[in-house]
Structure formats: C-alpha cells, structure tokens
A and B are shown apart, each in its own frame.
Chain A
Amino acid sequence: MTQPTYAPDLVEEAVLLAEPTAPAASAQAFRRERDRIYEIVDDDAREASFRSLHLRWFARLGLHRVIDQVAHQRVDVADRVNVSRVVRALTRQDEGADLVDEATLDAASPTPTLVLRLCPSTLLRPDALCTLLHNELTHVADMLDPAFGYERRLPASEDGPSADNILRDRYRVLWDTTIDGRLTRVGLAGPTERTARWREFASAFAMLGEGCESAFEEWFNRTDPTHAGLVAFALTPPQLANAGKPGRCPLCRFPVASLDARDGGVSPATEAVIRAAHPAWRIELGLCSQCLDLYEARQPSCA
C-alpha cells in the first residue's frame, strides 16, 4: 500500500480544530500565513495555496501519525490493497473502512482501494483513532482473506425486515466479538472492549441462557472465524436449532428469537399493567424483553 491520500476538507478541518491546542507561536504563524492566502485573486491559485498550507500543517501537527503507525503494523491489509484514501465522515456513525472495487478500471490489477471515513475531530484523539483503525482494518483483512469467505449479502429471511435486522445485528455482534478477541490477544484491545462486546453478545444471544457466557468465550477465543460460520450461528444459535423458527412476542407480535428470560420474571405490579392493556394475556405466554421493559416503565411509581 502506498502512502494514504487525505481529502483536503478533512485535512483543513482537522488542522483548524487542532489549532487552538497548538503552541501560541505556531498558531500565530499558521494564521499569518493563512490570512495572506485570502489576498490571492486567482481562484485556482488561492485554492491550491490553501490546500498546500493545510497539508503542511497537518504533517507538522502530526495529525497523520496514528494512521501511518497503524497502516505500518497492518501488513495483513497493506499488502492486499492498492492505495488508500482517507475522507471526511459527516457523522460519527459514518466512520469506518470500506473496500472500493476499482478492478474495472484496470482489469490487470484487481486490487481494491481502501477508503477510510473519519471525522476530523477523531484525528485529534489518538487513542480512540488507534482502536477504531485496528478494528476496522481487521474487518477489512477478513473481507480480503479468501479463507474467511466474505460475502456482501446475508441470507434474506422469510419473516420480513425485522428478522433481517435481527440477523444483521447478531452477525455484527459475532464478527466484532471475534475481532476484539483477536485484537486483545495481540495487545491491541483491552478489557474495555471485551466488556463492551460481552454486553452486546449477552443481549443479542440472550436466548442461550446459561450457555451464553461459554458461547461468548468460544467466539472471543476463535482464531479462524469464517463468514459462513458466523452466518450459521447467527441464523440458528444451537439452542434454537431444534426449536424450529423463531416465535413472536404475544404482546407486540414482533418476531423474536426468544422471549424474556431474566431473573425474577414479571413482577405482580407489571403483570397488572400488562393485563390492563392485554386482558387475554397470561404470564405463561411470556413476552419479549422490549415489552417487559416497556411495561415495567409504565408501572405507577410506588416509591
């Protein structure tokens, strides 16, 4: 992989955001130089000067450092992509890495291009950036690894969009679990990431009950996950394999993988609230976790 190229708007915004924390003398020098560029009459020349100024200060402020370091460490990705581009993400949700297939442009070298989408403010937070990059690049490494066998689409469900969402969520949680497991073992992620993944896993696979923790351990420790393996587990976790298709919550009628199984079950007060809205409902019928949360919240406060 060659040196990444940075989108000018990302570079400029990152430099402007970093300026207030730069030493006063360099901030003033930067401003003096930048102010002068406004005087250039020719549009193209002015634009070019702004770009080169911001790029120089981007380097001077070391805003590229983390990306360079991580790219250097990740030979597993670097060797398999062509060039990489770093562009501006508009929201934090939008941040991430993608592979853009530019094979059609040059059939002889079907190496994809790596595109990183980052918010300018993330460039100013080295630790968060490092974690994000390693995570994203591991996704990319999997996608590029023939042994992983990545496919863009997940199998569609007959149960409609909410079942598709459940599958997509479970797949994401599983994949992230294996990634943070792998990163933890090489010292690139820590207990914070592990706890976060465990929380997600426990909620996505609550139907596993007591087996949930051991399943998490197994996925967290797996060294060679495959796309097909992730999909298979996400589609029918072992406990459900015999139980046929996922059912529906008797209250909201949404398809769910499992009904709520938390300790303590439904309190009498909550039961009363549910019965007021659904007279035909009985406690043995169960309900999904979302409905339980909802009706618990609707209980008249007795404190």
Chain B
Amino acid sequence: MPTVKNWQLGRDMAYPYDARYPERQFAFVFNINRCIACQSCTMACKSTWTFSKGQEHMWWANVETKPYGGYPRWWDVKILEQLETANPGAQVWGGTPGDGRLAPYGTFEGQTIFEAAARALSPDSARVLGYLPTDEEWNSPNIYEDNPVGKRGVRNALDDTGVQLPVHKTWFFYLARICNHCSYPACLAACPRKAIYKRPEDGIVLLDQSECRGYRKCVEACPYKKTMYRGNTRTSEKCIACYPRVEGTDPESNGEPMETRCMEACIGQIRMQGLVTIAEDGTWAEDRYNPLYFLVHVAKVALPLYPQFGTQPNGYYIPPRWVPRPYLRQMFGPGVDLAIENSISPSRELLAVLQLFRRSNRIIFRYEIEEGPKIYEGSLHGRKVELYNDTVIAFGKDGRELFRTTVEEPVHVRSNAHANSI
C-alpha cells in the first residue's frame, strides 16, 4: 500500500491510493462550548437536501448528545472497539504536542483504520476497517438522547417535563457533525467502483450517483458513518458540502463563495466554515490571517475529531471545557489540554477572531485587526482578562470587505437589579 503524510498523526501512514492534494480544502471549526442542540443546522440540511422519498432516515448533518448518544447509535464506540481489538492496548499517542505544522499533536503510535485493515482483514474483503450499521442504529437521531420518553403506552411522544425522573448529576455535551471531507477519505478508499472522488479545487468529497451500484462499502468504511444508503434508488449518498454555495454558483450567492446551509442556520453561532490553502505536501500552507488557519495552527484551540482514525478529517472542534479530559483526549487527541487552556482565557487575537463567527454567510478568506486602546482589565474565573477596542475586518475571496466588528463602550454600566431597564 502506498504511504501518505498525515500531519494530524505526525507521521506517514498507509493509504490505498497515492497522495493527491486539492488546491484548497473545505474545512470548518465548531465551537462546542456554544452548541445548545437546537437542531437548526440539522433541519437546514434536511430541508435542503434529504427531504425526498427514500431519504427519511438520512441526516447528513446531525447533532448528538455525547457521551451516550450517536447517529448512527454507537458509531464511535463501535469503531474504537474494532481498532482496540485489532491492536490491543497500543492505540496510543507518543511524543509531545508541539508548535510545528507537521506534528502539532505529537505522533500517533497506534493503527489507523487503513493499517488495521491491512493486518486484520483478508486482502480483498476490505481495505478499511469498518462495519455496516443496522436499521435500528440509524433509527433515532438524537431522539431519546436527553429527553425522557413519553408515558408508557403513549407512542412516538417525548415527555414534556420528565417530572418523575430525578435530575441526574452528569456531564454531557452536544457534538454537531457533518461529513469531514477528509483528506484521506475512507469512503473513497473503499469504493470498488471508484464512484467517490475528491474535487481538486476545494477538496469536497462527492459520490457520483451514476457510478454507484449500491455496494455500501463506503457506508461500511467511513468511520464517521457519513455516507448513507438509499433503498429506493439503491445508491449511497453523502453530504455534498452545499458545493454550489461554496463555489459561488448558487443563485443566492451572487458569485461569492458562501458557507453551507448548516453553518448559516446555526443559532448558537458555533460554526465557521472556509477554504484553506493546501501546500504541496498536503499540510495547510501558512496563511496566518485565514481565520481557520489561526484557530487550528496558531491559537491551537480547534482540534480534529478522532484524528486517530487516520482519514485526516477537515472538521475541527473547540472542545467543551467541562468534560473530563480523558474522554476529550480520546475524541480529539493530545491537543485537548492546550486547546482548553487557550479558549478559557482567550488571547486578544482569539477574542477578535471569535467575533467573526456567523456575522456573515460569506466565506471569510482573510481577516485583519486594527488595534485599538485597552478598554478593560479585570479577571474572570481566576484568570486575567484584558479587552481592547480592536476592530476585526473580514475579507471575502476577491479581497472585498465583508464586514467589520468593533466594540463600543456603553454609556454606563447598569446595576444588576435593573440590568435590562432602558
């Protein structure tokens, strides 16, 4: 099997095809700390792309309640378990997270789904370790995950109040997911008909419906379970990253690259999507003032989801602060501690970049900060906070200014007792 460079793992890795990199890569950052599971993203996607007959169970975008929820149910637990069985006790990271773009999280010493398959599966049965979810696993996207079910004997209803259940002392968070448009897609690697391809211009991974013959190898292989089989057309389908919007060919976009529907609809304003420039070796080319580059490589607050699977996913997450660290390290790799530290007390630049989230539905290619005077100094959660009246300006593809965000001091600070009086 050829080898390719996987910078998220800090090493070369076996992959069934030779490396070929797009010019730019579709990528996104989700700030989990803000997601309230309103499911607006889920519905925006569903009402745009998967509202037809045969797509009833399909949710290309979904939000699940972790740790016990999942769509399909237990997708991550199942693949983690398969990997653990293939390589017991050795799915570990080595080295230390560093500053470089090549091994920012250290080195993954375990096996990816491609490497484990090469060892554990007979050669032609599969190139990727995976499994086919059952009907019932696809059945309940975020249903029953954090609402008590209806009264006994009442079908298809959730309990409004759940008054009879005790309040549990527990932790959970919402994980919003779409296809990661991976750099080394498992779906693509597994397709016996080469019906899946990665676009050279933006790295979006598409599944050619006219070539698909419903082998479902992609469904089996994608570790994130983001390709889905449609029974009435007998082909698989997957998230298309709203490519007409990203291209700027959607009538609404006026020729300017636009973010996807799920990003645009986000009520919690947790989402930012963009296109990052890819260097010849497949790493992110330095692009210091691209907001995604800043969040992933400079501020290091956004981390890939389960990088150890080996597909080099292009979805990045600002991890939730309150969740036990071992769980987060398993999910986002060894970069978690630094990411949380940096996001609890955001730097001056990070605070400015966070203001770019959801202020526009155009893709931001570059930002600029015009520094202003310090306007506040104090402390929060035992950490020092300084605020500046900086202006952050967002630019679109052709360098046009999309918007600017700045801070204005209020006339006065209201007392708590009358905080909302005018």
Chain A residues near B (Cβ < 8 Å): 9, 12, 16, 20, 31, 34-35, 38, 50, 90-92, 119, 121, 161, 165
Contact = CB atoms under 8 A, between A and B. Distances in A.
B370 interface: no
A254 B151 CA distance: 15
B125 interface: yes
B125 A90 contact: no
27 contacts: A9-B231, A12-B231, A16-B216, A20-B125, A31-B213, A31-B215, A34-B213, A34-B214, A35-B213, A38-B213, A38-B214, A38-B234, A50-B234, A90-B135, A90-B136, A90-B139, A91-B135, A91-B136, A91-B139, A92-B136, A119-B134, A119-B135, A121-B134, A161-B151, A161-B152, A161-B153, A165-B152
Interface residues of B, number: 14
A35 B210 CA distance: 11
B162 to A, nearest CB: 17
Interface of B: 125, 134-136, 139, 151-153, 213-216, 231, 234
Nearest to B134: A121
The interface residues of chain B, by DSSP majority, are classed as: loop
Q: Which has the most chain A C-beta neighbours within 10 Å: B135, B214, B231?
A: B135
Contacts of B125: 20
Contacts of B231: 9, 12
Nearest to B213: A35
Contacts of A50: 234
A16 B132 CA distance: 11
A33 to B, nearest CB: 11
B121 to A, nearest CB: 11
Given A31-B215, A90-B135, 4 more contacts: A34-B214, A90-B136, A121-B134, A165-B152
Nearest to B132: A17
Contacts of A91: 135-136, 139
Contacts of A38: 213-214, 234
Contacts of B139: 90-91
A91 B152 CA distance: 19
B136 to A, nearest CB: 4
A34 B153 CA distance: 43
A161 B151 CA distance: 10
Contacts of B134: 119, 121
A295 to B, nearest CB: 14
Nearest to B216: A16
Contacts of B152: 161, 165
B419 to A, nearest CB: 39
Contacts of A35: 213
A91 B137 CA distance: 9
Contacts of B213: 31, 34-35, 38
Contacts of A90: 135-136, 139
A148 B124 CA distance: 56
B285 to A, nearest CB: 41
A20 B126 CA distance: 11
A5 to B, nearest CB: 19
A21 to B, nearest CB: 11
A267 B296 CA distance: 56
Contacts of B151: 161
Nearest to A20: B125
Contacts of A34: 213-214
Contacts of A16: 216
Contacts of A31: 213, 215
Contacts of B136: 90-92
A89 to B, nearest CB: 9
B128 to A, nearest CB: 14
Contacts of B215: 31
Q: Which has the most chain B C-beta neighbours within 10 Å: A91, A121, A165?
A: A91
Nearest to A9: B231
Nearest to B220: A20
A86 B260 CA distance: 43
A91 B136 CA distance: 5
A49 B135 CA distance: 24
A248 B153 CA distance: 22
A54 to B, nearest CB: 10
A34 B216 CA distance: 14
Nearest to B136: A91
A173 B148 CA distance: 27
A29 to B, nearest CB: 14
Contacts of A121: 134
Nearest to A47: B232
A90 B234 CA distance: 18
A9 B153 CA distance: 29
Contacts of B214: 34, 38
A32 to B, nearest CB: 10
A16 B134 CA distance: 13
Contacts of A20: 125
A93 to B, nearest CB: 8
A9 B125 CA distance: 25
A90 B56 CA distance: 13
A247 to B, nearest CB: 20
A111 B153 CA distance: 30
B104 to A, nearest CB: 39
Contacts of B135: 90-91, 119
A12 B134 CA distance: 14
A27 to B, nearest CB: 11
A38 B209 CA distance: 11
A35 B139 CA distance: 28
Nearest to A121: B134
Across the A-B interface, the 9 shortest Cβ-Cβ residue pairs:
A91-B136, A35-B213, A90-B135, A38-B213, A161-B152, A161-B153, A165-B152, A90-B136, A9-B231
Nearest to B215: A31
A277 to B, nearest CB: 11
A91 B215 CA distance: 23
B392 to A, nearest CB: 50
A91 to B, nearest CB: 4
Nearest to A90: B135
Contacts of B234: 38, 50
Q: Which has the most chain B C-beta neighbours within 10 Å: A38, A91, A161?
A: A38
A91 B73 CA distance: 13
Contacts of B216: 16
